[in-house]
Amino acid sequence: MYADLGFRNSKGEVHVNVTAADTSFGVTASAPVQLLALDRERTFTSPQTTDNKMIMPSVNASYNVNDNITLSGVAYYRRFEQSHDDGNISEAEPCDDNPAILCLEGEEATDISGNLIPTPDGELGSIDSTGQTADSWGTAVQMANDADLYGHGNHFIIGASYDHGQVTFNAQSELAQFQPRFVVTPTGTTFGGPDEVAPKLIDTENTYVGLYISDTYEVNDRLAVTLGGRYNYASIQLTDLTGEDPALNGTNTYERFNPAAGLTYQLTSTISAYGGYSEANRAPVPAELACADPERPCLIESFLVADPPLEQVVSNTWELGLRGEDTAADGSSRWTWNAGLFRTYTDDDIITVVTNSTRGYFQNGADILRQGIEAGLTYQTQKWQAYANYAYIDATYQNDLILNAPDNPSARESICDASDFEEEEEEGEDEGELACIAVRPGDQLPGIPPHRFKAGMDYWVTDKWKIGGDLIGVSSQYFFGDEANQQPQLDGYWRVDLHTSYQITPRIQLFALANNVFDKEYGVFGTFFNLAGANEGAEADPDLGEDFFTNPRTITPAPPAVIYGGAKIALW
C-alpha cells in the first residue's frame, strides 16, 4: 500500500506519505541445470521461504523563501521485519573415530543443550533460519539558491543528511533430512556447536552522516562549470546479545570527503557536451565486517563471527558525453538523445572468498575497472512515444588474485599456493576441497553481461486507452565462482513484455501487464554447486539416485509468461 496526502500553495508544498507491505514468497533459488532439464518447475532445495513486513511513514516539504531561495527537507521512519528459512545440504557427517555421532569440520557437533548429536538415518540436510528486525530513521535538509553571481547565472546547493538504524539479527541451523524432490524436513535438533553454526543474536547500530555542497556557475551563454563535494561519516557498531561471543563487540568508523567537478558546453542550439570527475566511498556493511576472518569463515548469508575490520571502498569516476534534443516547429514531435562514456576505478574492493560450498568470508583486495558506453534515444508525439537504450559495460579485474573455488571444474589444488600462474594451470588434475583459480588483470567480473538493450513504445488508441510493449535483450555472462573466466558462460536472452491501461475516470485507472509473453526459458544468475553433496541429497529421490548429478552448473531460472492486473485510484 502507498498513500500520499499533500498540500500546496504559492510558497511551498508538504506531503505526508505512508508505504506498507506484507509479503511472503517461496522457492526462488538457483537450481542445477540437469534438474531444470527434467522439469523447469523443479527446485533445489526447499523450503526456501521469506516473509517480509515493512511500514515507512515519511514527510517531505519545500518552501520558497523568495524568488531565488528554496528550502526543502524530508524525514522518515522505517520498520522492517524479515524471517527466512533455507533448506540446504548439511556439512554434518559421521565422525571418523565414532560414526555414531555427528561432526562438523572435524569437531563434534552438539545441540543447544551441549549434548552430542547422534547420527540419524537417511541423507542429512539442514534448515538454516535467519531473521532481522530493523528500525531506522533519518532526515535530510537542503537549501538551493538560483540568484545570479557577478551578473552570471548560478545555482548553489548546500545540504546535510542523517540516517540511523538499529538491527537485531538472529541465525540458527537445524539438523534435517532429505526427502524426495529435495525437500528438507527438520529433525527438531538445533545445532549449538561448533561456534561457526551456534545460534547468533546480534545487534547492530549504524549511523551515517553526510554534508554536501555544489555550485554550477554559467561562465557564459554556452559554458557552465560545476564544483562540489560530499563528506561522509559512518559508524557501525556490533554487539553480541548471546554473551557467548564477546569478540564480536566493537565499533568501526569511516569518513571521507569526496570531490566532484564537471562542465557542460552548448555546442549548438540543440546539442550540448558534458564531462566530469567524481569520487565516492562505501563503508562495509555489518555482515561484511562480521565475516572477514579467513580462519573463521561464515556459513554464507547466515552467520556472523568476530573478524578483523575491513577498509572502506573508494571509487573514481570519469564521464564524458553528448546530449541533444530537437522539437518540431509546430511542437507536434520531439526527439531527445544522449551518448556517453564512463570509467570507474575501484581500489581494494571487497570480495567474497569461498572456502567450501557453504562457507566463505569477505576481504579487501580486488582492483576493479568498470568502463563502457551508455546511449539512449526517445521520440514523442501526441499519439506515440518510443525509446531505445543501450549500455556496454566492460567490468574487469585489474590485479592478480588467487581465489578458492571448490566447485569450479577448472580449479586446481596446486594453484592455491603456486606463485607462477603459467605453471599452475599446466599441473593438471589436482583434486581436493582446497582448489583455486588464478585471476589475471583483464578477466571479466562474473554476473555482469557486457551488453544490455531495451526498446519500447506506447500508443494512445484513444485519450483514455494506452497500449505498449518493451523488448529487452541481455548478452551472456560468466558464472559466479568463475572469476578466472575458464568455464562456458551463461547464455544471454531476450524477452518481450506488453502493457495496457484505461483511464475510466480522472481518478480511476485499470491496468494490465504481461511479462515474457513468448515464455522464453533462460537463466538470470549462474554459479556452481557441490556434486558430492547434491548426489547425497539425490539418493533420497528414487527418480534420480546417488550418481544423478555430473554437471556442477546451477542457474536461477527466469519467471515464465505471467500476467498482472490492477487498479490505480486517487481519492482526492
Model pLDDT for residues 100-129, shown as the tens digit of each residue:
999 987 899 999 999 999 999 888 999 999
Q: In this predicted model, which residue has the larger pLDDT, 195 or 127?
A: 127
Q: How many Cβ atoms are within 10 Å of 20's Cβ, its own excluded?
A: 13
183, 404, 408 from 431: Cα distances, Å = 30, 13, 11
Q: How far is residue 408's CA from residue 417's CA, in Å, rounded to a whole number? A: 17
The three cell numbers of residue 564 are: 498482472
How high is the pLDDT of residue 303? 45
How high is the pLDDT of residue 415? 87
How high is the pLDDT of residue 329? 86
Per-range mean pLDDT, top range of 1-5, 76-80, 422-426, 537-541: 76-80
Q: In this predicted model, which residue has the larger pLDDT, 195 or 376?
A: 376
The mean pLDDT of 162-188, rounded to a whole number, is 93
How high is the pLDDT of residue 309? 64
Q: What are phi and psi of 153, to 5 degrees?
A: -60, 145
Cβ burial, residue 13 (10 Å; 0-12/13-18/19+) = middle
pLDDT over 90 at 432, yes or no: no
User: pTM for the full model?
Assistant: 0.86
Which residues, in sequence order, are bridge partners of residue 111?
191
Return the minimum-mean-pLDDT range out of 131-135, 146-150, 545-549. Answer: 545-549
Per-state percent for the chain, helix, strand, coil, to nearest 5 = 5, 60, 35
Q: Per-residue pLDDT tens for 236-276?
A: 998 888 877 777 788 889 999 999 999 999 999 999 999 99
Q: Per-residue pLDDT tens for 322-361?
A: 999 999 888 889 999 999 999 999 988 888 777 665 566 7
How high is the pLDDT of residue 287? 67
How high is the pLDDT of residue 359? 63
Return the minimum-mean-pLDDT range out of 387-396, 441-450, 533-542. Answer: 533-542
The mean pLDDT of 430-435, rounded to a whole number, is 57
Q: In this predicted model, which residue has the larger pLDDT, 29 or 82?
A: 82
Q: Per-residue pLDDT tens for 87-97?
A: 988 888 999 99
Q: How many Cβ atoms are within 10 Å of 428's Cβ, its own excluded?
A: 7
pLDDT over 90 at 485, yes or no: yes
Which residues, in sequence order, are bridge partners of residue 141?
73, 160
How high is the pLDDT of residue 456? 98
How high is the pLDDT of residue 357? 56
Q: How far is residue 96's CA from residue 117's CA, in Å, rounded to a whole number? A: 14
Model confidence at 292, pLDDT cuts 50, 70, 90, reads: low
Half-sphere exposure of 368 (CA within 13 A, CB side): 20
How high is the pLDDT of residue 429? 39
How high is the pLDDT of residue 317? 97
208, 260, 326 from 143: Cα distances, Å = 20, 19, 33
Q: Per-residue pLDDT tens for 398-412?
A: 999 998 888 999 998
Q: Per-residue pLDDT tens for 204-243?
A: 999 999 999 999 999 999 999 999 999 999 999 988 888 7
Residue with cell 556557475: 217
Q: Rounded mean pLDDT of the chain?
A: 89
Give the DSSP letter of residue 283.
P
pLDDT over 50 at 40, yes or no: yes
pLDDT over 90 at 283, yes or no: no
Give the DSSP letter of residue 424.
H
Q: How far is residue 540's CA from residue 191's CA, in Å, rounded to a whole number? A: 23
Q: How many Cβ atoms are within 10 Å of 483's Cβ, its own excluded?
A: 23
The mean pLDDT of 306-317, rounded to a whole number, is 76
How high is the pLDDT of residue 433? 61
How high is the pLDDT of residue 291? 67
Model confidence at 492, pLDDT cuts 50, 70, 90, reads: very high
The mean pLDDT of 491-513, rounded to a whole number, is 96
